[in-house]
Structure 1
Amino acid sequence: MKSWMYDAIIYIYALSLLFYFSDFAEPNRRAKQFGTGLLAFVWVLQTLFFIFRVEDLRQPAVFSMFDSLFFFAWLIVTVSLVLNIVFRMDVLVFFVNIVGIAVLALNFFTDENVSPLLEQWHIEDELLFIHVSLAICSYAAFLVSAVLSGMYLFLNHMLKKKRWSQTLKRLPSLDKIDKSSYVFVLVGTPFLILSLTLGLVWLHITGHLQLMLDPKVLNSLLVIAVYLFYLTQRLSFKKPGATLALWNLAAFAFVFANFVISNFLSRFHQWIWM
C-alpha cells in the first residue's frame, strides 16, 4: 500500500504543478484552484505516508536519507501552502514545488534501510531526531529564501529594462520579496546553529571528538558563517537589495555543497547511493 501511495503522491504532485504552470503561462483561476486543491491532497497523502512509515519503523523517521528527503519534501509542500494562503505568492509556490517533486524523484535512488549512524553509537533517539529535524527545517527555509532572491533579481532586471508583462503583475513588490527572503534566512540560520550545536554535543557524548574535523561539520560551520555575513551586511551595512539577493543565492550554493559533501566526503553522514 505504501508503494502505491508513494506513486500516487508523485503523480498527483506532477498534475498539481501542471495546473500551476498552466495558470503561470496564462492566468486561469480554475487551473490555480485545481492546482492548490491537488497540492493540499498531496500534503495529506505525504502526512499519511509518513505516519505509516513511523509506525513500521517504531522510531522517528529521519534516520535514513529516504526519510530525510521525504520530510524535506513534506516541509516544502507545507510551507508553500501556507505562503499561498497568507501571501498569495502563486509563482513562488510553483518554483519551490519544482524542487519538492525533484526531491521525491531523487528518493527513488536512495536505500531506505541505510542509516547514517555509526554502529557503535548509542545515544537517545530524541537527540538525533531533533538534530536532523532542525537541519532539514533550516534547509527548507534557505531554499524558499533562495527562490525569493531569484524572483527579486528577475523582477528587478525586468523593471530596469522596462519590460512589462502579465507575469510581472502577478509578482509581489520588490520590497515584499526582499523582506520575505530575509525572514526565511532569519528563521533558517538559528535552526542550523541549534542543529550543529546538538550535533557537536552528540559527538562529545559518544566520544568521537575527532569527527569535529569531518568535512560535513566544517562545511556546516562555513554555511552558518556565510549566512551570518549576509545578515550582517543587511542589518549593519544596508546593502542594496540586488546585492543581498546575489549573496543569498551564493549562500544557498554552500548549502547545496554541504549536501554533496555529506554524501561523498563525510565519514558519518553518508545517506545516499550506498
Structure 2
Amino acid sequence: MSSIRWVYDITIILYALSVSLYFVDFLQNNRKANRIAFWLLSIVWVLQLFVLFLRIVDTNRFPILTPTEGLFFYSWVIVTLSLLINWFFRVDFFVFFTNIIGFVLMAVSWFAPNNYVSPSFSDQLINELAIIHITMAFIAYGAFTLSSILSIMYIVQYNMLKEKKVGKRLWRFESLTKLENLSYLLNVTGVPVLFLSLVLGLIYGYKMELAPAIFYDAKVISSFIVLIVYGYYLYMKVAREAYGRQLAYWNVAGLLVILINYFLAATLTEFHLWY
C-alpha cells in the first residue's frame, strides 16, 4: 500500500502541473506549455495504469468496487478518452477542459471513503458479468462527460462569435460543426454501451437473487434516467434534426444528471459501492 501511495502522490502532482500548463496555454496561447502539458498528461496516464496494476496485485481483483477505486477508474477513463480524441481529431483546449474534471475526480478519490469490501461480497462481484457491467458503465459515463464538455466549448465559442470576440483563442476552439459532430459521436458510443451495461447489470442482479430490490435501487433508477437523457439527445439529433445550441444545452444538462447519478444516488444505493 505504501508503494501505491507514493505513485499516487507523484501522479497527482504531475496531473496538477499538466492542468496548470494547459491553463497557461489557454490564457497566453503558449504552444510550448501545451506540448509539455500533453506529455505530462501522457505520463499521468501511464502512472494511473501502474496504480491500477498495483491495486490488482494488492487486492487480487479488478479495483472498481469501492468509491475510491471507482472515482480513480473514472478519472483514468477520462484521461484515456481525452488523449485518444486529441490524438485523432486534434481539438485545442478540449484536453484542458476535460482534465479539469479528470483531476478533480482523481483528487476526490484520494479522500473518498475506501469502503471495506467483505470477502464474501467481493467474491460475489468478482465474476466476468459483474466486471464487464461496471467497466462498460464507466466507459459510457466517460464518453458522456467528454461529449458534454464539447457542448460547453460549443456554447462558449458561439457566444464569442456572437459578441465578435475575434482572436487567437477563438480560432483554436475549432469549428462549431466539428465540436457538435464529435459530441454526437461520443453520445452515439455512450448510449449503447450504457444500455448494454444496464442489461448486464439486471441479468447479474437476477442471478444473484437481488430482485425485486434491484428495480427500486436509487442507482439503477438514476442510471436509466441518464440513458433516457442521452437517448433523447440522439432522438432530437437524428429524428427531429435538431442542432446547435438546443442540443448543446441539453447535453450540458446531461452532465448534471450524471453528477447527480454518481454522487447523490450513490449515497442512497443499497449495493452499488463502486459508483
CA distance in 2, matches of 1:26, 1:117: 52
2:84 equivalent in structure 1: 82
Matches within 5 A, 1:190-209: 190-209=192-211
Matches within 5 A, 1:116-195: 119=121, 122=124, 125-195=127-197
CA distance in 1, matches of 2:124, 2:272: 16
Q: Determine if the alignment matches structure 1 residue 265 to structure 2 residue 255.
A: no
Deviates most, 37-46 or 122-131: 122-131
Q: CA deviation at 1:210?
A: 1.8
2:239 equivalent in structure 1: 236
CA distance in 2, matches of 1:251, 1:261: 15
Matches within 5 A, 1:38-53: 38-53=40-55
SS in 2 for 1:239: coil
AA at the equivalent of 1:147: I
Aligned residues of 1:19 and 1:34 also touching (Cα < 8 A)? yes
| Match among 65, 71, 74 for residue 73 of structure 2 | 71
Aligned residues of 1:116 and 1:269 also touching (Cα < 8 A)? no
CA offsets 1:210-245 (integer angstroms, 9 cap, x no match): 221112111111111111111111101111311001
Q: CA deviation at 1:116?
A: 9.6
Q: Determine if the alignment matches structure 1 residue 246 to structure 2 residue 249.
A: yes
Q: CA deviation at 1:139?
A: 0.6
Q: CA deviation at 1:114?
A: 3.0
Residues 123/25 of structure 1: CA separation in 2 closer, same or farther (3 Å cut): closer
Identity percentage of aligned residues: 36
CA distance in 1, matches of 2:29, 2:162: 24
CA offsets 1:27-71 (integer angstroms, 9 cap, x no match): 222211111111111111111111111111111111222222111
SS in 2 for 1:183: helix
TM-score under structure 2 length normalisation: 0.93
CA distance in 2, matches of 1:117, 1:196: 25
CA offsets 1:137-196 (integer angstroms, 9 cap, x no match): 011001100000001111111112222122101111000000000011111111111111
Q: CA deviation at 1:117?
A: 9.8
CA distance in 2, matches of 1:117, 1:51: 20
CA distance in 1, matches of 2:118, 2:239: 39
CA distance in 2, matches of 1:66, 1:4: 16
Q: Determine if the alignment matches structure 1 residue 106 to structure 2 residue 108.
A: yes
Aligned residues of 1:20 and 1:94 also touching (Cα < 8 A)? yes
CA distance in 2, matches of 1:178, 1:123: 38
SS in 1 for 2:269: coil
Aligned residues of 1:20 and 1:35 also touching (Cα < 8 A)? yes
Aligned residues of 1:61 and 1:67 also touching (Cα < 8 A)? yes
Structure 1 gap ranges (5+): none
